[in-house]
Every structure is written in C-alpha cells, then in structure tokens.
A = this chain, B = another copy of it.
Amino acid sequence: MPATSPAPRRARSGNRRDEAARLAVLHAADDLLVEHGFGALTIEAIARRAGVAKQTIYRWWPSKVEILLDTLIEDSEKRLPVPAEKATAEIIRGYLRDFERFLNGDPAGRVLLAIIAEAQHDPGTAKNFHERYLGPRRERERAMLVRATDVGEISPKLDPDATIDALVGPIVYCALTGSSIPGSVLDTLFEDLLRPR
C-alpha cells in the first residue's frame, strides 16, 4: 500500500533559514506600524511580538526599514499590481484610483508612506527604497504608459516619467499631508495630461 503523504511534518529550524521566523517578523513589523505607529517600531518590539530573537532579525535584515521594505514589496505586488497586460485609458485611470485608495486605506499604504518618510532621514534607506521599490515599479508604470501610447489609447503631453510624477505627485502629497485627493481632481489631471482617445 503505497506511500501516504510524504509527511512534511514540522521542520521548524535547521541550518537553513526559518521561513516561519521570517514571516513572523514581517507580520509583526506590519502590525506594530499599523497599530502603534512608527515610533513603536523598534527592533526589540518586533522581536518580542514575533516571538523571535533579536539576533535573528539582525542576521537577515540590516535595519528595520528593510523589514518594512520587504513587506511593502510583497504586499504591493498583491494589492496594487501595475497592470501588465493590455493598457487601455480606463485601466490607467483605474490604477490611479487604486493607488489613491492604497495610500489612504490600505495598511500597506501606511508602510509606503513610512518608508518615504524614513528615506528623508537616512540616505541608505533612500537608496534601497529606490533600488528595490521605486525604480522597478516606475519601470513598469512607464512601460504601461508607453504601451497605451503606442496603441493610441492616450497621447500624453509630457514624457512618461514627467507624466507619472505629475499624476502620482498630488496623490502622494495629499496622503502625506493627511488629506485625500478627490476622484474628480484625479479625473481632471488624467484627462488633461493623458488626453485619452
């Protein structure tokens, strides 16, 4: 009688990285940020909450912001993916609205704002933030715009990067100052800068 399941059992630790610990840290950091704010986000608190040793954190992350960056990358991939297939004007408009909702409603959006903030205080954070998040994402946003332009869905007034800055800038700025940009304003900017067909 042949081979019941391979019994994965518990393989909690060994000489390989412990996935459970990794996730516990990511979630602990996320939760602490959302529940008690960035001020409560200390390595000790994360370790305590995750049920993990401080050393385990220091072994795998150079700073607490890198932890946030990890959660941000994983979360924004799921919750705010850059549309990668067909690029219609409507899809782009939807992305902008999702972006606004992400920043003002989603816990992961709080993480993004916190990292932007921390990047002002520390050049190392700024560098990693660009290399690991902003850069790659901008790449895909630019590609989305170019595709839509090629297809004739939109005909932007400015070059792709400037266009993105002009559209995303107000959204982020409003989120940073605690307000939330109205959908109608978003629409006006969208119509105005992209001139959709």
Contacts and interface: CB of A to CB of B under 8 A. Distances in A.
Given A120-B114, A170-B170, A178-B130, A192 B157 contact: yes
Interface in A104-141: 113-114, 116-123, 126, 130, 134
A188 to B, nearest CB: 6
Given A113-B120, A117-B117, A181 B157 contact: no
Counted per complex, copies of this chain come to: 4
Contacts of A130: 177-178
A21 interface: no
Nearest to A134: B177
B126 A117 contact: no
Interface of A: 37-39, 113-114, 116-123, 126, 130, 134, 157-158, 162, 165-166, 168-174, 176-179, 181-182, 185, 188-189, 192-193
